[in-house]
């Protein structure tokens, strides 16, 4: 049995995000402001899924 080679050193996960309407394949390319914005994004609850609104 030959010794197993190690692979993937330094290979980063790709994190695809929408930036202003288009996609970007890696957060490394985001400018500082957009990077901060992406980190701040919160999820929007879907609720019942029947289009019912909470009273606003």
Partner 1 sequence: MIETIIKRDGRAVPFSIDKIANAIFQAAKATGGNDYEEALALSQKVVDYIESTGNTRPTVEEIQDAVEKILIESGHARTAKKFILYRSERSRVREMNTRLMKIYEGLTFKDAKENDIKRENANIDGDTSMGTMLKYGSEGAKQFNELYVLKPEHSKAHAEGDIHIHDLDFLTLTTTCCQIDINKLFKGGFSTGHGFLREPNDISSYAALAAIAIQSNQNDQHGGQSIPAFDTFLAPGVKKTYRRFYVSNLSKGLELLCGFEDAFEASKNLCLEVEGTYGLTPVFANDNDYQAKEADLLINKYKLPEANVRKAQSFAVKKAVKETDKQTYQAMEAFVHNLNTMHSRAGAQVPFSSITLGDDPSPEARLVCKNFLLATDAGLGNGETAIFPVSIFRVKEGVNYNPADPNYDLFKLAMKVSAKRLFPNFCFADATFNAPGYDVNDYNSKVAYMGCRTRVKANVYDPTRQVTCGRGNLSFTSINLPRIAIKAHGNTDIFFEELDRKIDLVFDQLYDRFLIQGRRRVYNYPFLMGQGLWLDSDKLKPDDEVMEVLKHGTLTVGFIGLAEALKALIGSHHGETQEARNLGLEIVGHMRSRCDQKSQEEGMNYTLIATPAEGLSGRFVRMDRERYGVIPGVTDRAYYTNSFHVPVYFPISAFEKIKIEGPYHNLTNAGHISYIEMDGNPLDNLDAFESVIRCMKDNNMGYASINHPVDRDPVCGYTGIIGDVCPRCGRHDGEAISEEVLMKIKGYSTSVCSCDENPLEEADKVAHPVDIVEI
Contact residues toward partner 1 (CB under 8 A) are: 4-25, 28-34, 36-37, 40-47, 49-54, 56
Classify 47 as helix, strand or coil.
coil
Helix or strand run (H / E) with residue 24: strand 23-24
Q: How far is the CB of 8 from partner 1 (least distance, A)?
A: 4
Of 43, 40, 12, the residue nearest 28 (C-alpha): 12
CB of 2 to partner 1, least distance (A): 8
Shortest Cβ 27–partner 1 spacing (Å): 9
């Amino acid at each position: 049995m030959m010794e197993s080679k190690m692979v993937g050193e330094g290979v980063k996960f790709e994190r695809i995000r929408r930036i202003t309407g288009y996609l970007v394949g890696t957060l490394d390319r985001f400018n500082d402001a957009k990077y901060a914005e992406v980190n701040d994004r919160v999820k929007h609850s879907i609720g019942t899924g029947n289009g019912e609104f909470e009273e606003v």
